[in-house]
Copies of this chain bind each other. A is one copy, B any other.
Amino acid sequence: MATDQAQSDASEGDTYDQFEARVRRISNVGNAAGILRWDQEVVMPDEGTPARAQQLSTLSSLSHELLTADETGALLDELESSDLEGDRAAVVREVRRQYDRETSVPQDLVEEISATASNAHPKWKQAKADDDFEHFAPTLEQLVDLKREYAEHIDPDADPYAVLFADYEPYIDLETAERVLERLREELVPLIDAIDDSDADLATDAFAGAFDDDDQEALARDVLDSLGYDWDRGRLDTAPHPFSSGTQFDARVTTRFEEDDLLGSITSTIHEFGHANYTLGLPDEGYGTPLGEARDLSVHESQSRLWENHVGRSRPFWEHFLPIARERFPELADVTPAEAYEAANQVHDDNLIRVEADELTYHLHIVIRFEIERDLIRGDLAVEDVPDVWNDKYEEYLGVRPETDAEGCLQDIHWSHGDFGYFSTYSLGSVLAAQLYAAAEADRGAFDDEIREGEFDELNGWLRENVHQHGKRYVTPDLIERATDEELTADHFLEYVTSKYGELYDLEDY
């Protein structure tokens, strides 16, 4: 018996090794594609696109073929029938999920969606430029239909929007997301109204002026230095749409500079730092498997928002950072930390554009998109009705009505990519950021004094220990529960914003 067991263990070991080698290949192809995309956004010459598109398409199809090969399925079956535990079981769980999804959708449909989206992108761009929703509507309808078909292949019995949502957030139920978003809507609408009615006079022009690009870049490097970014495993570049990407060995940040928006480049750099810092906290030895990969979009966004908002928009941060900023920009000599703090936290209740929104109104932009795309995908809303519904919701939730579709339902690129189900992860990320920050402070005490001294090791240490080092070891609800002793809740976010903005805007009932 003992011998049989040993043999069975050895054979399980061989199978697992084969399986892991396969998983590493897939991961390496994906990471190579990541470098090609970074290159395309950051350094590729303008006319490189035709070749790059073919290179990326080849890598993507190779990765798909490796994942969906019969051999992968056989290895998964075999491993699942043995008694895997712990890390190995987690790797099998993650690959199984991906395998099931990719094998259930016919490759023809995937290619049709991809081709339709390629075609949709210029149509959307034109429609936005011309403020002409009709020009985009037929393609949008096609994409909605194709994505419903896609969802049906994955699970014909499920709510198709829940299936699409799971592409971005596989382990959080759509019901949880809906519950959180509804709560945000219920609580934020009156809070923003109260701010709108407030007479408080914030120092909103602390960063008014024209700021040189090179100096802004030097300051962005100061920000990253100050937060403890590891330059031996990263770099800073500019990109039209800032992003971060990479692996634990090489996690790069991009940002952008606009002459009249110094504050925007600072907060955007801190945001991208948060993403890269998560990636850098993944264990080296897990590289190439889910154990060395970040959890999904909401958790990733929790890291960028924690640093951007809970650190970068805090009063102590500006006490620490303003003197550094003044060295690059002597014109800030008369700005006080309190003024910088107020400028970084101004609420724009009349803003129509999501990407320009503040920490509060942002979530209403998300709620509106979430409700609309959910209804579209469920078949409860016709494409032609999107502009009116969009505008009505803006009026209802934000008290402002877009005058054009260009600044209304055509503003975001996502739907033209066929991305439905993505937006809510931004808000879930904010909510989780507040929950994690509260848990970290409960564990380690308030970080204010450290932030004021420019010390971030204690906070980052907690994040490394409770979030980063686990990679995809735990499914998201378990990761959250282990880190915070609670399930995902909007409580901490709402507590944070009511306390912060109640004080900033001198609100009676907050």
Query: Does A330 make an interface contact (CB < 8 A)?
Result: no
CA distance A288 to B51 in the complex (A): 8
In the complex, which residues 23-47 of chain A have their Cβ closer than 8 Å to any Cβ of chain B? 24-25, 28-29, 31-33, 35-36, 39, 43-47
Query: Does A284 make an interface contact (CB < 8 A)?
Result: yes
Give the size range of A's interface with the partner.
35 or more
CA distance A52 to B31 in the complex (A): 9
B49 contacts A249, C-beta separation under 8 Å: yes
CA distance A39 to B41 in the complex (A): 14
B234 contacts A45, C-beta separation under 8 Å: yes
Instruction: Report A29 CB to chain B, min CB distance, Å.
Output: 6
Cβ–Cβ < 8 Å partners of A61 in chain B = 25
Query: Does A233 make an interface contact (CB < 8 A)?
Result: yes
Instruction: Report A437 CB to chain B, min CB distance, Å.
Output: 29
B233 contacts A287, C-beta separation under 8 Å: no
B50 contacts A284, C-beta separation under 8 Å: yes
Cβ–Cβ < 8 Å partners of A284 in chain B = 50
Query: Does A59 make an interface contact (CB < 8 A)?
Result: yes
Of the candidates B32, B45, B250, which one forms a contact with A250 in the assembled complex, judged by CB atoms under 8 Å apart?
A: B45
Are A235 and B43 CB-contacts (below 8 A) given A55-B31, A284-B50, A287-B51?
yes
Are A55 and B43 CB-contacts (below 8 A) given A50-B249, A249-B48?
no
B54 contacts A250, C-beta separation under 8 Å: no
Query: Does A247 make an interface contact (CB < 8 A)?
Result: yes
Query: Does A510 make an interface contact (CB < 8 A)?
Result: no
Are A32 and B46 CB-contacts (below 8 A) given A51-B249, A250-B52, A287-B51?
no
Are A54 and B233 CB-contacts (below 8 A) given A32-B32, A249-B47?
no
Main secondary structure of the interface of A (DSSP, over half): helix
In this complex, the member of A36, A54, A234 whose beta carbon has the largest number of chain B beta carbons within 10 angstroms is A54
CA distance A39 to B52 in the complex (A): 15
Are A287 and B250 CB-contacts (below 8 A) given A43-B43, A45-B232?
no
A51 contacts B231, C-beta separation under 8 Å: no
Query: Does A10 make an interface contact (CB < 8 A)?
Result: no
Of the candidates B31, B33, B45, B46, which one forms a contact with A51 in the assembled complex, judged by CB atoms under 8 Å apart?
A: B31
In this complex, the member of A43, A50, A233, A252 whose beta carbon has the largest number of chain B beta carbons within 10 angstroms is A43
Residue-by-residue, is A179-194 near B (CB-CB < 8 Å gives 1, otherwise 0)?
0000000000000000
CA distance A139 to B35 in the complex (A): 34
CA distance A50 to B284 in the complex (A): 9
Query: Does A62 make an interface contact (CB < 8 A)?
Result: yes
Cβ–Cβ < 8 Å partners of A8 in chain B = none
Query: Does A18 make an interface contact (CB < 8 A)?
Result: no
Of the candidates B59, B235, B287, which one forms a contact with A32 in the assembled complex, judged by CB atoms under 8 Å apart?
A: B59
Instruction: Report A387 CB to chain B, min CB distance, Å.
Output: 38
Task: Give the nearest-CB partner of A252 in chain B.
Answer: B45
CA distance A510 to B43 in the complex (A): 50
Q: Which residues of chain A have a CB within 8 Å of any CB of chain B? A: 24-25, 28-29, 31-33, 35-36, 39, 43-52, 54-55, 57-59, 61-62, 230-235, 247-250, 252, 284, 287-288
Inter-chain pairs besides A25-B58, A43-B235, 19 sampled, C-beta below 8 Å: A25-B61, A28-B55, A28-B57, A31-B55, A32-B33, A35-B36, A45-B235, A45-B252, A46-B233, A47-B249, A47-B250, A48-B233, A48-B249, A49-B249, A51-B247, A52-B249, A52-B250, A54-B288, A62-B62
- 14 A-B pairs within 8 Å (CB atoms) are namely A24-B54, A24-B58, A25-B58, A25-B62, A28-B55, A28-B59, A29-B62, A32-B33, A32-B58, A45-B233, A46-B232, A50-B249, A51-B247, A51-B248
